Amino acid sequence: MRPQKKIAVVGGGSWGTALAQSQARLGHQVFLWLRSQDACEQINETRYNSKYYPEIQLDSKIFATTDIQACYEQAQIILLALPSSEIVPWIEETKIYLRDHQALVCTSKGLDLLHLQTLSQKLAQIYGSKWTHRHYAVLSGPSFAVELIQQLPTAVDLASSNTELRNMLIDSCSDTHFKWFPSKDMIGLEVGGALKNILAIAVGASDGYGFGENARAALITKGLKEISKVGVALGAEPETFFGLSGMGDLLLTCTGDQSRNRQVGLGLSTGKSLKDILTQIQQTAEGIRSCKIAADISERHQLETPILTETYHALYGIKDPKKAIIDLLHTIV
């Protein structure tokens, strides 16, 4: 029988709401933290998050709140569903509420811009490896939020250096609709999850410019090799990139039209500015931030990563986007 837990989900966007629904359906009591009191009242009174899922009724076991201290005091498992740039500051702010037995699962897909490392590496640097071993895990894989909340089959990887923590999380949170597979390679999951977003921008732009399916296949294949290079340089295991959190997430994000990062690339190909593209999609596209980090990591470690580098050039105005895509295609095709 599945152990019933109290779970806090931090972040009430499309992904956080889908996570909360997936866990409430398993019988867990879920505390969904949002910044907006109005949004909390709407969810608690109507059972709908109208901004993201106006047609999906949320489970009665979800309680929305703006009181993070109350969430942490009650929860045994905390799922972080914030933009990656907010994860470290959030943990620094809320660490006083974290208790010894609690699990902290990061579901965000990004890297630390200032120090050019993964979030788990940054947290180990701040709090020590014993702290991350005791508390921290990473969840990543091919998982569009709308399909998760619709209970369509979804499989992801869960990584932690702590076998007991990893097993507890999988026993508690994984089921036939949302399957969690164990891994020890947090760095690999983090790098794969962050850098596939950059590839999705490149593929979206290539598709938008009409460069064809052959070019798309080449970009994805060569892109996976670049992601693996960066990951290994940061300490990841190379085989991780052939699993769900590597190749799986890369394929979904590059080819699925629900992908925000793919939409950024498609928007670039029409001549739209980044500001206009982001206004249109109305959600975070992590690849924009991650491409600068990836370019800097590649330079620091003297890695040849033309796709990652040229995508950075296209996004940050260093090159005309079409010329950048043509240049990278000439490099790999």
Together in a domain, 225 and 118? no
DSSP 94: H
Domain closes at, from 184, 214, 232: 184
pLDDT band for position 183 (cuts 50, 70, 90) = very high
Together in a domain, 41 and 72? yes
Residue 173's pLDDT is what?
98
pLDDT band for position 60 (cuts 50, 70, 90) = very high
- Work out the end-to-end distance of the chain between its first and last CA atoms, rounded to an integer number of angstroms: 53
The three-class DSSP label of residue 103 is: strand
Together in a domain, 144 and 282? no
Together in a domain, 151 and 239? no
Give CA–CA dist 13/285, Å, rounded: 13
Residue 101's pLDDT is what?
86
Question: Cα-flanking dihedrals φ and ψ of residue 104, to 5°?
Answer: -120, 110
Together in a domain, 129 and 205? no
Residue 1 has pLDDT above 80, yes or no: no
Together in a domain, 306 and 229? yes
- Tell me if 240 is assigned to some domain: yes
Q: How far is CA 82 from the centre of its chain?
A: 9
pLDDT band for position 114 (cuts 50, 70, 90) = confident
Q: How far is CA 282 from the centre of its chain?
A: 17
Residue 296's pLDDT is what?
94
- Tell me if 281 is assigned to some domain: yes
Could you read off the pLDDT of 4-50 as tens digits, one per residue? 999 999 999 999 999 999 999 999 999 999 999 999 999 999 999 99
Domain containing 235 — which CATH number? 1.10.1040.10
- Tell me if 245 is assigned to some domain: yes
Mean pLDDT of the chain: 95
Residue 287 has pLDDT above 90, yes or no: no
Domain containing 140 — which CATH number? 3.40.50.720
Region of residue 307 (left: phi > 0; alpha: psi -120 to 50; beta: else): alpha
pLDDT band for position 276 (cuts 50, 70, 90) = confident
Residue 89 has pLDDT above 90, yes or no: yes
Residue 65's pLDDT is what?
98
Identify which has the larger pLDDT, 234 or 275.
234
- Tell me if 45 is assigned to some domain: yes
Residue 152's pLDDT is what?
98
- Tell me if 118 is assigned to some domain: yes
Together in a domain, 124 and 58? yes
Residue 271 has pLDDT above 90, yes or no: yes
What domain count does the chain have?
A: 2
Residue 221's pLDDT is what?
98
- Tell me if 1 is assigned to some domain: no
What residues are annotated to the active site? 196
Together in a domain, 122 and 255? no
- Tell me if 54 is assigned to some domain: yes
pTM of the model: 0.94
Residue 311 has pLDDT above 90, yes or no: yes
Give CA–CA dist 104/69, Å, rounded: 15
Tokens, residue 256: 């699925």
Residue 23's alpha-carbon distances to 20, 61, 134, 315, in angstroms, are 5, 9, 22, 37
Residue 165's pLDDT is what?
98
Which whole number is the average pLDDT over 265-290?
Answer: 86
Together in a domain, 156 and 26? yes
Together in a domain, 82 and 102? yes
Alpha helices of the chain — where are they, by DSSP H? 14-24, 37-46, 68-74, 84-94, 119-127, 129-135, 145-149, 163-173, 186-208, 212-234, 249-255, 260-269, 274-281, 286-300, 306-315, 321-332
Residue 187's pLDDT is what?
97
Together in a domain, 302 and 164? no
- Tell me if 65 is assigned to some domain: yes
Q: Return the half-sphere exposure (C-beta side, CA atoms, 13 A cut-off) of residue 218.
A: 17
Domain closes at, from 184, 206, 221: 184
Residue whose entry in the numeric block shows the structure tokens 């109005």: 38
Domain closes at, from 184, 205, 233: 184
Look up the domain containing 267 and give its range. 191-332
Residue 281's pLDDT is what?
79
Together in a domain, 42 and 121? yes
Could you read off the pLDDT of 135-177 as tens digits, one per residue? 999 999 999 999 999 999 999 999 999 999 999 999 999 999 9
